[in-house]
Amino acid sequence: MKRDFLTIWDLSKEEIEALLKRTQELKSGVDANKCPLIGKSIGMFFEKPSTRTRVSFEAGIYQLGAQSIYLNPNELQLGRGETIADTARVLSRYLSGIVLRTYSHSTIEEFASHATVPVINGLSDLHHPCQALADIMTIFEKKGRLKGVRLAYIGDGNNVANSLIEASAKTGIELIIACPEGYEPNPDILDRARSFINKEAEGDIIILRNPKEAAGRADVIYTDVWVSMGQEHEAEKKKSKFKNYQVNKELLQCAKKDVIVLHCLPAHRGEEITDEIMDSPNSAVLDQAENRLHTEKALLEFLIR
């Protein structure tokens, strides 16, 4: 039976732990000369521009012995009226798996419901689960654990925040989100995560307005752009709302001295984060970006047999 990876909920706690272990092995060079996916072809269906998602997946697919095929929807028959369902059914006859990066999460859900091969969410408006896997891998590398780590997310309650909520619930991370009123993460995602935590009795998810309060005693501080792709029409309004949510030297003074700073990139330097912090010894941003490659290789190996 095929497995999809549309959100963090598609993996059990045990599977996440196994993926992180396998990621460590792959990153260390274990099996570097083995090609478990040799002879496979993986589709890359991207509606939105990308740097890290596209390059990390294409490099990882190649390193696992498979072939990546980039698919621009405007160059497919989708641009002439073919349905998502028909496209998914046909591509499933050619490919061993498909990575989608779309504007609407419903597009990924519809595609996956008709595809007969594994579908991986490379980003949607609601979720960014591949980023969350790299995030928790980076935290584990730097802190040696996940359970009980205090993670302060400062900024917009966007797709990255939504997937961090799910990853935190699964791993026992204590997540504190600081955002202005009206910019909270998806309420359904929050409710599901809190319900899961109540059953598991691990972790915590708190929403605050004060970024300094959120950063207090934090082991990890995380931020993302205030204006996501497709929200350019809201740029001035959001910059005004988030002006006090910048990750800077003053904010870091509220956290632990060995706090690490994460950013999923691209960064708008001087807005949500200063150069001083982005390039500081506390920054693990480049390690975090590199871990996209290794976690995605482990994920591809897990899903595509």
Task: Please write the tens of the pLDDT for every residue from 58-99.
Answer: 999 999 999 999 999 889 998 789 999 999 999 999 999 999
Of 131, 150, 254, 288, the catalytic one is 131
User: What is the DSSP-derived secondary structure letter of residue 78?
Assistant: G
The alpha carbon of residue 96 and the mean position of all alpha carbons in its chain are separated, in whole angstroms, by 22
- Identify the CA nearest to 208 among candidates 165, 172, 250, 175: 175
* Active-site residue flag, 101: yes
Q: What is the mean pLDDT of residues 170-191?
A: 97
Query: In this predicted structure, which of 106-110, 174-178, 235-239 has the lowest mean pLDDT?
Result: 235-239
Question: Which three-class secondary structure state does DSSP give residue 250?
Answer: helix
* Active-site residue flag, 131: yes
pLDDT at 9 over 80: yes
Of 224, 254, 263, 288, the catalytic one is 224
What is residue 202's predicted lDDT score, i.e. its pLDDT? 84
* Active-site residue flag, 269: no
The alpha carbon of residue 228 and the mean position of all alpha carbons in its chain are separated, in whole angstroms, by 14
In degrees rounded to 5, what are phi and psi of residue 173? -70, 140
pLDDT at 305 over 90: no
- What the block records as the tokens of 206 is 């708190």
Cβ-Cβ contacts under 8 Å for 273 (sequence gap 6 or more): 223, 246, 247, 248, 261, 263, 267
Residues in the chain: 305
Of 52, 127, 263, 292, the catalytic one is 292
**Top-confidence residue, 110 or 202:** 110
- Identify the CA nearest to 135 among candidates 124, 125, 121, 149: 149
- What the block records as the tokens of 37 is 């996916």
Longest dimension (CA), the chain: 56
In degrees rounded to 5, what are phi and psi of residue 141? -60, -45
pLDDT at 30 over 90: no
What is residue 182's predicted lDDT score, i.e. its pLDDT? 95
pLDDT at 235 over 80: no
Whole-model pTM? 0.96
What is residue 275's predicted lDDT score, i.e. its pLDDT? 98
Cα separations in angstroms, 246 against 37, 66, 159, 218, 288: 43, 41, 19, 16, 20
pLDDT at 229 over 80: no
Q: What percent of the chain has pLDDT over 70?
A: 99
Q: Measured at the alpha carbon of residue 135, what is the angle toward residues 304 and 272, in degrees to the nearest 5?
A: 135
Instruction: List, for residues 244-300, the tens digit of each pLDDT value.
Output: 999 999 999 999 999 999 999 999 999 999 999 999 999 999 999 999 999 999 999
**Top-confidence residue, 222 or 1:** 222
pLDDT at 104 over 80: yes
Of 22, 52, 101, 294, the catalytic one is 101
* Active-site residue flag, 264: yes
Three-state SS string over 3-67 comes to CCECCHHHCCHHHHHHHHHHHHHHHHCCCCCCCCCCCCEEEEEECCCCCHHHHHHHHHHHHCCCE
Helices (H) and strands (E) in the chain, counts: 12, 9
Domains, the chain, with CATH or none: 8-127+291-303 (3.40.50.1370), 131-289 (3.40.50.1370)
